[in-house]
Structure 1
């Protein structure tokens, strides 16, 4: 017997990575999954539907017979979560890449994992185009703008993926280290690794379905993404250059958690507007790096 890629093998109780959004949608589909100040909210039902639509496009473009490594990169925005999970739901391995890396590192990282495809924000693609040309394994490059829009109809892309057994110990993602002790290296993470890590972070940080997570980082970190989606929390994206704007967006959204980089918090501490700012519902301010 085989199962669809969004189902766990065996007893079916443990979730695979790409099943996290669907589980949140079944619990509370109308809950906001992603909010961008000044933009349209994306509910969990909408996120899960968009993941399905993008996965269908990827299956049509990349095929279903061979698992490929698919690099995904963008600045902080609502498209990244849908593409990140859709790569795995389409049967491939997702490899998030920091869009701010220098070009030589881009080429080396994608070549080192034999990336067969890349899905990039248009600004990222324009900046790294020369590096992509030097990756011999790369056969497909897509812009986020080529993918189904939020709220749009699912594209007609041919038959659905053939059902297959998916084990929790199958590799779902390749995460690159920071390179603090040398060149960045890819670390293979299984469905079990990622889902367990999401649960651990959510538990340690107190992220639950009532949480509103303010993300002030310049890019998406899948650790925060997976923890929030597993809990069914709302994520508020505020990746602009001024951390004061992020705090104000968080206050307006009644944020319970705020993730930022150390230099952003240092800027806040020195900002003359600091006394005007408050996050009255915040239970945690997290930083690292």
Structure 2
């Protein structure tokens, strides 16, 4: 079974059930499956063969859903790309990923025209029309085709070629914290198994109405808020762009049952003054991932809105989910939960040996969700996957009940005078201060101790001082963990999923000092 064939199966069983809702537009499973077949058929007419690579440069929309599933049904490999990447970032992925066709918004047409000479392998650009594009009078040229016309030209009964479990379905380019982005190759089996195992673990079913406000080109949304509900007859409530007002309104009007977001989204929802508990009363579950959620924020959110937040963990290379807090036992604040079904997690030392309960080591993962490898990077693949285990690069510990706790990224650990300081534990203390809205902690060079702890804080109180906050940290942290300096900012840099970027803060600091 794979995503495309399972969609067809669900459509056969529930043809009139709502598959998605987008800006008031409602689409049934029968309609969606027909559109997917039509688009896949249109791609075949263009000459797209099984195994060809197709890039999606799209935000959250029906275009993304039909483009993704249509390309998969045609046997192509899909490469989702953040549409707000720079031309250099986009051209690198398109060239490195050997992309034959691109599906993108008409607003990107000027970019495609400008980049045409740099993309010799791209044979087709399939353009999705938008009201803004029409207003600007954007017209198609050269290799460009209309998404709508291609869709209408296809056969609604097209089945597509046979797909093997081990065929690469999606290549996800990781953000590339060091060097160029790496393309994680996820197979049909990887994606389908993780969607179903996550759905089973979180009991996502046909009664659920799941808000997809995270970017669909990001694997968290792709698996948890798109594939998992669609594979089980649920309804996806597509949000083109996250805003607290939109989430409260949509939840109330569409009777949403599940919301998935990153901690920053929960912070925005919590801070939104007009948000009320009754707006979210239909939610049975909130899911948090993408970054560690401060315990203070989790407790405050649950108390204010009377809804459980289940924190989990995943990474692109694992399709992505490996852990979630279980629903049939007490949730442990600060924990990423226990291994989901069919996936194993363990904590190991530098020799790959499992460490005792409570000790910190590197989290490694094994299961049907683990990627095939990095595209055209055998050495990186061999370094990351060893003896069948995926080495995550995250430092973690496990308690006696099998709950895992992410301590920090291996590379983010700060060493102060020989002592390990994990940014997260300092951030937890900062978030517990009533005047702190957001916080991020990094290590900076120190002539005496090797490194020192530096904090960046967004405060709701303009009178809060650096000295007051450092004193607060002294009351809650060991001496070597106390920040040496705190800088107040209007906002913290984030990526498109809302994850705070420590790397950008480090770069900003380096350029300022230079």
TM-score normalised per structure 1: 0.84
- Decide whether the 8 Å contact of 1:104 with 1:131 is kept in 2: no
CA contact (8 A) 1:247 1:277 kept: no
Give the superposition deviation at 1:131: 4.0
How much has 1:97 moved relative to structure 2? 1.1
2:285 aligned with 1:284, yes or no?
A: yes
State the Cα distance separating 1:241 from its structure 2 match: 4.6
Q: Distance in 2 between matches of 1:277 and 1:135?
A: 51
Secondary structure of the equivalent of 1:116? strand
Kept in 2, the 8 Å contact 1:69–1:115? The answer is yes
Does residue 105 (structure 1) correspond to residue 103 (structure 2)? The answer is: no
SS in 2 for 1:208: coil
* 8 A contact 1:106–1:128 mirrored in 2: no
Alignment of 1:114-125 (within 5 A): 114-125=98-109
Cross-structure match for 1:168: 165
Give the total of aligned pairs. 269
Cα deviation code 1:65-118 (max 9, x no counterpart) = x63100012111112111101112112111111112222111111111111111
Query: Structure 1 residues 100 and 206, CA, compared in 2 at 3 Å: closer, same or farther?
Result: farther
C-alpha separation in 2, matches of 1:128 and 1:219: 21
Deviations 1:222-243 (A, max 9, x none): 2132111111110111233522
SS of residue in 2 equivalent to 1:95: strand
CA shift at 1:20, angstroms?
Answer: 2.3
Match of 1:34 among 11, 15, 20: 20
CA contact (8 A) 2:105 2:128 kept: yes
Query: Deviation at 1:156?
Result: 5.7
Task: Say which of 28, 32, 35 aligns to 1:50.
Answer: 35
More divergent stretch after superposition (53-62 vs 269-278): 269-278
Q: Which has the higher contact order (CA 8 A, sep 6+)?
A: 1
Q: In the alignment, what sits opposite 1:6?
A: none
In the other structure, the counterpart of 1:196 is 193
Residues of 1 paired with 2:267 and 2:181: CA distance? 27
Aligned to 1:17: 3
Match of 2:255 in 1: 254
Which residue of structure 2 lines up, in the alignment, with residue 61 of structure 1? 46
- TM-score, normalization: structure 2? 0.49
Contact 1:216 1:243 in 2 (8 A): no
Distance in 2 between residues matched to 1:55 and 1:17, nearest whole Å: 14
Q: What's 2:59 paired with?
A: 75
Q: State the match for 1:213 in structure 2.
A: 210
SS in 2 for 1:278: helix
Equivalences for residues 149-160 of structure 1 within 5 A: 154-155=152-153
CA contact (8 A) 2:56 2:78 kept: yes
**CA 1:132 to 1:230, structure 2 compared with 1: closer, same or farther past 3 Å?**
farther
Q: For 1:266, what is the secondary structure of its paired residue?
A: helix
Q: Is the radius of gyration larger for structure 1 or structure 2?
A: 2
The 5 Å alignment of 1:123-138 reads 123-127=107-111, 129-131=113-115, 133-138=117-122
List gaps (5 residues or longer) in structure 1. Answer: 1-14
Aligned partner of 2:123 in structure 1 is 139
CA contact 2:21–2:27 (8 Å) conserved in 1: yes
Aligned residues of 2:21 and 2:238 also touching (Cα < 8 A): yes
Preserved contact between residue 170 and residue 185 of structure 2 (Cα < 8 Å): yes
